[in-house]
Amino acid sequence: MVSTKAVVCVFIFAIWVSFAHASDLAIEFTEQEKAYLQTAAPIKMCVDPDWVPFERINNQGQHEGIAADLVQLVTQRVGLKIEIYPVKTWDESLAASRSKHCQLLSFINQTPVRDEWLIYTEPTFYDTNIIVTREEHPFVADLHALKGKSVAIPHGTMIEERIRRDYPNLEVILADSESAASLLVSERKADLMIRSLIVAAYAIKKEGLFNLKIAGQVPEYTNNLRIGVLKDEKILRDILDKGVKTITPQEREAIANKHVLVIAQKGIDYSLVWKILAVLALVLLVSGYWIRKLNALNKKLERLSITDKLTGVFNRVKFDAVLETEIQRSVRFQHPFSVIMLDIDHFKQVNDIHGHQAGDAVLTEIARLLQANTRETDILGRWGGEEFIIICPQTDINGALGLAKNLCRIINEHNFPIVQHKTASFGVTAYQPGDHAESLVARADAALYQAKHNGRNQVKTWPSHE
């Protein structure tokens, strides 16, 4: 049993940690910013009233969700008070912001249209946008390759603006909400939708749309969600920006997990289950059958959402998330790690000469070789097409270079089905302080390009380390 003395000690320690953390978060304001804070009235903020789990206005008129917690964290740290401007739709929020009825928009992507009246803080949250289709739809590697397909999108969003600009080959079907867009796809009224990974995972479970799956990623459409501020409120933007910069990756993760976990638990109505069981025992058998089936579908959905269907290794969506986690771990504990990117040489010739089934066989065999000849702690993913990528935790550039050379030799010496001989080119880089995922992958890609340029079937590092 835990003693009272132990509880008191833990409580005192927690208070000490909170004060120590608060001292680390001391924000220095300019004289102009201090004057603004001393006289500032409560700030009016517009929000999306129905964008769960990111944000919503609940039945009591309160702002809740990931965005609400993040904005509250920022405003508490800078000493501002926020009032929610009441709206019923996202379109009303945009109109109210543009008409200057509210000074802030809580959680938005920057777009050219919004740039007409807004300036922005640094991102408060990052989230990948993914492609959601019905279960029978094949993997989508490139949206440009889709002809005569329709995409369901909530209107007034960043995605709507960019899809119309970047993918004229797609027919846009506008929906009133994220949920409505999901139903359009589920009911075969649209072929696909593009939405946040967090929102999609929540919605598929909550709404029971188990005929949907994650069929691809749109990395260039990653949500960099910011606080939008009216253009004539530059001092307010600068003050908020200083608060945003105090948010740690751990705080973002804790806030996201809190809302995803709470929401996921709301899907089971236990009172209804017990009432049904009390009425008729036969319902227990029927319920048991469907629960098992839904659990199996959930597991299948989870597996499909993080793995490449052909090779069984992590897909791009999962790999991006793992890479971000590894960067955060390296920042916190000062652990080294490296990234290896490889590309199968002259892979197009395999498909052209032997057919796509032979190409699939080569990809599957390459994945098997990589899994068999890397450590259990190494993380393997398919980056796209004939490219694979490996994260090597606790490994400096020399260790990763040695591993890449060994893999290059193993592939070169392997007897592949149908094509017999195949080679691969490798690019290697190591994490450097200040790196983000894009810069790290870009260096590995540059090293891979150098290996290709120098004749293929070899390993290069960037920067050069040979």
If we measure between CA atoms, which residue out of 197, 193, 40 comes closest to residue 104?
A: 40
According to the model, what pLDDT value does residue 21 have? 44
Amino acid 237 reads R
Q: Are 286 and 65 in contact (CB under 8 A)?
A: no
Alpha helices in 266-315 (DSSP H): 270-279, 281-306
| Predicted local confidence at residue 384, as pLDDT | 86
How does residue 295 score in pLDDT terms, banded at 50, 70 and 90? low
Phi and psi torsions of 108, nearest 5°: -140, 155
> pLDDT grade, residue 301 (50/70/90)?
low
What confidence score (pLDDT) does residue 278 get?
A: 55
Task: Check: CB of residue 444 under 8 Å from CB of residue 339.
Answer: yes
CA dihedral 154, 157, 161, 162 (to 10 degrees): -90
* Helix H or strand E encompassing 166: helix 158-166
Q: 219 near 142, Cβ under 8 Å? A: no
Q: What per-residue confidence (pLDDT) applies to 282?
A: 52
The full set of domains in the chain, from first to last, is 22-125+224-263 (3.40.190.10), 129-221 (3.40.190.10), 269-298 (no CATH), 316-461 (3.30.70.270)
- pLDDT (tens digit, 9 = 90+) per residue, 333-383? 898 999 999 999 999 999 999 999 999 999 999 999 999 999 999 999 999
Q: Of 112, 117, 69, nearest to 96 (Cα)?
A: 117
pLDDT of residue 198: 80
Q: Kindly state the tokens that stand for 224.
A: 């960099």
Residue 176: strand, helix, or coil: coil
Mean pLDDT of 190-203: 83
Q: Give me the mean pLDDT over the 382-387 stretch.
A: 91
Query: Is residue 181 exposed (0-12), middle (13-18) or buried (19+ Cβ within 10 Å)?
Result: buried
Q: How far apart are CA 174 and CA 181, in angstroms?
A: 8
Residue in 76, 5, 11 with CA at minimum distance from that of residue 37:
76
Does the global pTM surpass 0.75?
Answer: no
Give the per-residue pLDDT at 424.
Answer: 97
Q: Which of 200, 188, 217 is nearest to 154 (CA)?
A: 200
Helix axes 197-206 and 249-265, enclosed angle (nearest 10): 10
Q: Above pLDDT 70, what percent of the chain? A: 83
Confidence band for 267, pLDDT divided at 50, 70 and 90: very low
Q: In Å, what is the CA distance from 218 to each residue of 73, 107, 166, 411, 435?
A: 30, 20, 12, 30, 22
Question: What tens digit of pLDDT does each residue of 37-59 get?
Answer: 999 999 999 999 988 889 999 99
Q: What mean pLDDT do residues 409-429 have?
A: 95
Strand ranges in 31-149 using DSSP code E only, listed in sequence order: 43-46, 50-51, 55-57, 63-64, 82-84, 104-108, 118-120, 125-127, 129-134
Residues identified as active-site: 386
pLDDT of residue 465: 61
Backbone φ and ψ for 321, nearest 5 degrees, come out as: -65, -40
**pLDDT at residue 18 above 80?**
no
CA 248, CA 120: separation in Å to the nearest integer? 19
Q: Sheet harboring 192-196: ordered strands across?
A: 171-175, 150-154, 192-196, 129-134, 212-217
In this predicted model, what pLDDT tens digit does every residue of 121-164 receive, in sequence order?
999 998 888 899 998 888 888 898 899 999 999 888 888 989 99
Residue-wise pLDDT tens digits, 211-265: 888 888 887 888 899 999 999 999 999 999 999 999 998 898 889 888 875 333 3
- Please list, in sequence order, all residues whose beta carbon lies within 8 angstroms of the beta carbon of residue 68, skipping any fewer than 6 positions away: 47, 55, 106
Percent of the chain with pLDDT over 90: 60
